[in-house]
Structure 1
Amino acid sequence: MPRYEQIADDLRERIHSGEYAIGSTLPTYAELAETYSVGRGVISSALGVLEREGLLRIVKRAGIRVLDWRVQRRRISRGQHIYRDPRRGYVGPAAASPDEPWDTHGKPSAGYEPAPERVAEFLDVEPGIAVLRRRRVTSPAGEPAFQIVDTWLAPSAVRDAPKVAEPSTGPGGYLDRLEEAGHGPMSWREYGRSRLPSREEAGLLDISPESPVFELVWVGTSHSTERVIEVTVRVIPADRVELVSDLTRHETAQWPVRPVSS
């Protein structure tokens, strides 16, 4: 076994045993190199293994911090139904039951930010143009930040429903305000992919920039204009989520197997 893997195994065991507690800081590169009698490059390779596993976050000038590796993996059932919660408005497949309490980390925000290229493509605007973004970071109660939820709203949607630009949009949320302004009933398409987080996303979720995230994008279309008016991007650490779908038989796959006619 290469020396860096041996060191990674030893550090992993120390983290899991609690010798290096969650939230604590590991010794410096120089101290680790002296402890294991190896060069800085070997230590860097060992720490890289643990960082990709989500055990560590290495921050310049802040040290090597131990992350919470005990966070439960949550299952998200993928269906095709949009539900309505009397308290929250529209909800889709999620990682929580309607009655499960969730926390908000930091203060939700609403302001104009440059539209990322993918969002701009969905909204049919120039990349980098200032678009209204609503952001919140949430998690199940008592757990570390689980997801970043960014909702980007088309300029036309904001003109039609100015309330969506306010921090509190009232009962039913911003979707009710859009539909009341003449865009209902809206329809949605969902996109999912894995990728690496931006440095900002890694900071908000308190994960390593080397740890993949899962991105779920809801693209909402106006019934009246048939144009995309909102794009909601959910970013979740990939090691904290598992997607589950029920598969159904197509008519061509019915049992018993139909005999093939000659």
Structure 2
Amino acid sequence: MARYEEVAADLRTRIKGGEYDVGGTLPRYEELTATYGVGRGVISAALAILEREGLVRPIKRRGIVVLDWRIERRRIARSQLVTRNTTTGYVFPAASHPDERWMSHGRPFRERLPAPERVAELMDIEAGTETLRRRRVTSPMGEPPFQVADTWLSEAVIRDAPQIAEASTGPGGYLDRIEEAGHGPISWMEFIRTRMPSREEAQLLEISQEMPVLETAIVGKSAKSGETIEVTIRVIPADRVELVSELRRDKTASWPKAPVSPAP
């Protein structure tokens, strides 16, 4: 084991043993180099391992902050079923449990921004086109931020349903307003990938930029025009979630096996 790995292993044991409080900080670099008898490079390499594991995060003017590593990894059942709640509207496959309450971190807000490359690609518009974004940062009650959810709305659908650009869109939410304006039934495609977070995403999710994130993008198309009218991108720390799918047998994989016909 390399020396930096030994240092990382010792710090990991101390963090998980409760020697360093969640939300507190590790000793400063000078103290760590003296404690372990190594140079700054070894300490940097050790801390980089702990960052990738989601145990610590460097924060300017605070130091190396200890993150809450005890949070349960949540499962997302990857069904293809979209359901409807009579109060809140459509419900997509998510990491929430039945009857679980969620909270917002900061106030949800909306603003017009140049469409980033990924959004432009999914909406089939020019990158940099001014587009309305609705942003929410949420988590289960009492937990650190779990996801950043950005909904991007096309100009065409805002013209038809101007309420969706407002803070409150009424029962059922913005999707109901879009469908009522003549675009229903909306059809959706979902795209899932992993990537590294932007600096802003890492700050909002209170994670290190060394921690990969899971990105799910749901793309909604109008039944009237066939065009993409909304894109919702959710970004979740990769160490907080796992995807679960039930595998089903095709008739070609039925059991008992069908008898094999003898060769002619």
TM-score (norm 2): 0.96
CA positional deviation for 1:197: 0.6
The answer to whether the Cα contact below 8 Å between 1:149 and 1:232 also exists between their aligned partners in 2 is yes
Could you report, residue by residue, the CA deviation over 1:214-242 in whole angstroms, capped at 9, with x for unpaired residues?
A: 11110001001011100000111111111
Aligned-pair distance for 1:255? 1.7
Q: Tell me the SS of whatever aligns to 2:185.
A: coil
Alignment correspondent of 1:169: 169
Amino acid at match of 1:34: A
Match of 1:128 in 2: 128
| Partner Cα distance (1:118, 1:196) in 2 | 14
Q: Structure 1: how far apart are the matches of 2:123 and 2:91?
A: 22
Could you tell me how far apart the structure 1 residues matched to 2:173 and 2:197 are? 27
Change in Cα spacing, 1:165 to 1:98, as seen in structure 2 (3 Å) is farther
**CA–CA distance in structure 2, aligned partners of residues 204 and 114 of structure 1:** 20
Q: What are structure 2's unaligned runs of at least 5 residues?
A: none
CA contact (8 A) 1:111 1:165 kept: no
Partner residue of 1:145? 145
Secondary structure of 1:201's counterpart equals: helix
CA drift at 1:115 = 1.0
Counterpart-to-counterpart distance in 1, 2:36 and 2:227: 60
Q: Structure 1 CA distance, aligned partners of 2:33 and 2:159?
A: 59
Q: Secondary structure of 1:128's partner?
A: coil
TM-score between the two structures when normalised by the length of structure 1: 0.97
Show structure 1 runs of 4+ deviating over 2 A: 59-62, 259-262
3-state DSSP class of the match of 2:106? Answer: strand
* Residue type at the aligned position of 2:227: R
Coordinate RMSD, CA, aligned: 1.1
Query: 1:83-98 to 2 correspondence within 5 Å?
Result: 83-98=83-98
For residues 1-262 of structure 1, what are the structure 2 equivalents within 5 Å?
A: 1-261=1-261, 262=263
Aligned residues: 262
- Unaligned stretches of 5+ in structure 1? none
Measure how far apart 1:98 and its partner are: 4.3
- Per-residue Cα deviation, 1:68-108 (whole angstroms, up to 9, x for no partner): 10111111111111100012100011111341111111100
